[in-house]
Amino acid sequence: MHIEGKAVCLGEDIDTDMIIAGRYLRTKDRNLWATHVFEDLDPGLARSLEGAVIMAGKNFGCGSSREQAPVALKEAGVQAVIAPTFARIFFRNSINVGLPVVEAACECVDGEDVTVDPDGGKVHIGDRSYPIHPLSPRMLEILRAGGLVAYWRDHK
Amino acid sequence: MSTLSERILGGMAGAFVDREVDRAYAHDGTGVLTLEAWHAMGTNKIAFPERVYILFDHIAPPNNSTTAALQAELRKFAHSMDLHFCDVGGGICHQVMGERYALPGEIIVGADSHTCTLGAFGAFATGVGATDMAAIWVSGSSWFRVPETIGIHLNGNLNTPAEAKDLALTYVGLLGMDGATYQALEFVGDGVADLSMDSRQTVSNLAVETGAKTGLFYADHVTLRYLAESGLKPAVQEPEECRYRREIDIDLENIEPVVAVPPRVDTVKPASDLYGLPLDQVFIGTCTNGRYDDLRRLAEILRGKKVRVRTVVAPASRDVLLRAVGTGVIADIVQAGCVLLPPGCGPCLGAHMGVIGEGEVCLSTANRNFKNRMGVGGEIYLCSVATAAASALAGELAGLEE
């Protein structure tokens, strides 16, 4: 599993209300979530996420269990989220919807080329590399399948 | 020798286990996505319909035709699959599950982050997302990583006007917003015995604000007395010697009224530091502080007086509302000038019935004060019921002392 993209750097403790606000939840329109992702953090950010790897600070995705948060990121074109730690429900939701999330502490600036292999053990940014905290075998399997829906279909 | 999480999940901290769940619930918000994921899995099966619950609380009753249509689809599904169903007006999912179903030793999953509230019953209760919930509908089980546990020793008794909410905000301030990520909290010590079930649910409710999976109390005589009212007779859970990753001591005598300052739940300050803060709205309710003890306390403070700022009150459930009607608590609250909302989440998540405007400040008994949560450009300060009530009367942030 090889992922690459341009770094978009964000701060610590980005909560799920910041990722997708509660006022946009009552719909099944995934495109709407992608349009409004990070609106309360930076209204222009949604348009620059195609092909991005989000490089966040600790505790990314804290707050609610809303699965619209990782779905919005995925629909907006985010390739992966890398952070030193994640809130656990967000982390699990991301794997379940097929959005790669990687625990690693990296130094990075906006626009740098980032590559990561969630099975492989390292994040590469320019000529620097950072170790990752490996996913459990089950989570890797779900991610490789493209998410829990596809994983479940495969295992039926 | 195990922590309560290890005992219930049947594995040592760090182990991954597959377990059948005893109860699985979703609400009108997360249930819609769960149903979509369940359809996408290409199944028409629910492994244990008798263990699956759908409860409408987030936008209850619906605020527009889109919400109404989404709820109609989910309602029809719940009836067609013979699931437990609780329609608008029944109350907040965590509250209703606590009033009727949750039992010590159970594994309970809810498609809502505040499912940790039911840890107050000695259940391993934790929040999951919609797709996880869909898989649980299909299989009846899920995987769990048995968490490490932080032991929080509570000593002594709370002194009025401090309440369980002040204790809860205090430990969130101590641990920080990610201080317990991937871990569980256990509340133990001699101070537990004097905390009512309503208070314990308030304390467990905020566990997720530290990143914790759940916040557990061992079932004791207080738990058993509460459950006996519903005709339930589980056994007491005795704590064992066990290994905590970290231990914290809190002397309840030292807990004072506190406020969490926006936009972080862990920015916790003495309420007295903020006296005089102008307020546009006070909100009392939610899965944190909408229970009967909370409404009774509110009524005691408001009785015979008038609020000086718009004050909205949402009982956590129909049972809470009925009890508060019967004892005159609701009459006191309404006569004081408060707006009474139907049982449910109310304006906590900024969807309806008490949304705040640009530049407005709300003092709330809820559990989150994230930027824009209750309305774009508005600010949320979190506090106890007593602080909310005293402030409603003063028209600005105030305490009960004077």
CA atoms within 13 A on the CB side of A97: 29
Q: How many structural domains compose chain A?
A: 1
The percentage of residues in chain B with a pLDDT greater than 90, rounded to a whole number, is: 99
Residue A120, pLDDT score: 77
Chain A partners of B111 at a C-beta cutoff of 8 Å?
A: 65
Mean pLDDT value across residues A73-98: 97
Instruction: Please give the single-letter amino acid code of residue A32.
Output: L
What single letter denotes the amino acid at residue B309? V
Nearest 5°: the CA angle B102, B251, B167 is: 45
Residue A26's pLDDT is what? 86
- The CATH number of B1-256 is 3.30.499.10
**B42/A96 touch (CB, cutoff 8 Å), yes or no:** no
Please state, in angstroms and rounded to a whole number, the distance separating the CA atoms of residues B223 and B219. 5
B281-284 vs B23-27, strand pairing mode: unpaired
* Residue B111 to residue A65, Cβ atoms within 8 A: yes
Sign, CA dihedral B141-B146-B147-B149, equals positive
Longest CA pairwise span in chain A (Å): 44
Please provide the average confidence, as pLDDT, over all residues in chain B.
Answer: 97
| Chain A interface test: which of B373, B376, B380 (most A C-beta within 10 Å) | B373
Q: Which residue of A has its CA nearest to B138?
A: A152
With CA atoms as reference, the chain B residue closest to A14 would be B370
User: Is pLDDT of B1 > 90?
Assistant: no
Cα-trace Rg, chain A: 14
Which residue type is seen at A136?
A: S
The domain segmentation of chain B, as residue ranges, is 1-256, 258-394
pLDDT at A92: 97
Predicted local confidence at residue A156, as pLDDT: 66
Give the integer Cα–Cα distance in Å for B108 and B97.
10
B66 close contact with A: CB closer than 8 A: yes
For the stretch B185-222, pLDDT in tens is 999 999 999 999 999 999 999 999 999 999 999 999 99
- Residue for token pair 């990561």: A116
**Cα separation, B334 vs B122, whole angstroms:** 35
Looking at residue B334, what is its pLDDT? 98
Query: Nearest-CA residue of chain B relative to A29?
Result: B33
Contact yes or no for A149 and B40 at CB 8 A: yes
Residue whose structure tokens are 């918000």 = B29
Facing A149 at nearest CB: one of B37, B66, B368 = B37
CATH of the domain at A55: 3.20.19.10
ipTM for this model: 0.94
Q: Fold identical between B1-256 and B258-394?
A: yes
Q: SS3 string of B244-283?
A: CCEEEEEEHHHCCCEEECCCCCCCEEEHHHHCCCECCEEE
Q: Read off the pLDDT band of B401 (50, 70, 90).
A: low
pLDDT cut 70: percent of chain B above it = 100
Q: Which of A59, A64, A148 minimises the CB distance to B131?
A: A148
Q: Does the beta carbon of A79 lie under 8 angstroms from any beta carbon of chain B?
A: no
| B40 close contact with A: CB closer than 8 A | yes
Cβ–Cβ contact B59 with A under 8 A: yes
The yes-or-no verdict on residue B402 having pLDDT over 60 is no
Domain that holds residue A139: 3-155
Q: Model confidence at B384, in pLDDT bands (50, 70, 90)?
A: very high
CB contact under 8 A, A62 and B177: yes
Helix (H) / strand (E) element for B95: namely helix B93-100
Q: Report the sign of the C-alpha dihedral through residues B41, A141, B111, B364, in that order.
A: negative
What is the pTM assigned to this prediction? 0.96
pLDDT tens-place string over residues B358-368: 999 999 999 99
B258-394: in CATH 3.30.1050.10:
no
Report H helices in B101-150. Answer: 130-139
Give residue A155's pLDDT.
78
User: CA B288, CA B41: separation in Å to the nearest integer?
Assistant: 34
Mean pLDDT of B289-299: 98
pLDDT, position A154: 83
Q: Taking a C-beta distance cutoff of 8 angstroms, is the pair B368, B326 a contact?
A: no
- The reply to whether B67 touches chain A by the CB within 8 Å rule is yes
A58/B178 touch (CB, cutoff 8 Å), yes or no: yes
Q: Which of B135, B349, B372 sits opposite A148 (nearest CB)?
A: B135
**B142 class by beta-carbon count within 10 Å (0-12 exposed, 13-18 middle, 19+ buried):** buried
